[in-house]
């Protein structure tokens, strides 16, 4: 199997409780979570910190 480290991956999680999902996944996966800036929707982006 090829080493895909660093390749871009996009997943979406649809949940009725974004705060709880963020509280669970951010520390588990080491993600920094921020708002996507969509005024009419609570859409958040999670990404690993570089380094």
Distance CA 29, CA 1 (A): 23
**Domain count along the chain:** 1
The pLDDT of residue 14:
92
The tens digit of pLDDT for each residue in 19-46 reads: 999 999 999 989 899 999 999 999 999 9
The pLDDT of residue 5:
78
Tokens of 3: 């080493």
Cβ–Cβ under 8 Å, residues 18 and 5: no
41 DSSP 8-state letter: S
pLDDT at 2 over 80: no
The structure's pTM equals 0.72
Phi, psi values for residue 32, rounded to 5°: -100, 125
By residue range, what is the domain housing residue 39?
Answer: 1-51
């Amino acid at each position: 199997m090829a080493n895909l480290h660093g390749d871009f991956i996009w997943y979406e999680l649809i949940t009725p409780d974004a705060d709880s999902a963020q509280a669970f996944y951010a520390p588990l996966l080491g993600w920094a979570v921020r708002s996507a800036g969509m005024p009419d929707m609570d859409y958040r982006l999670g990404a690993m910190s570089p380094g």
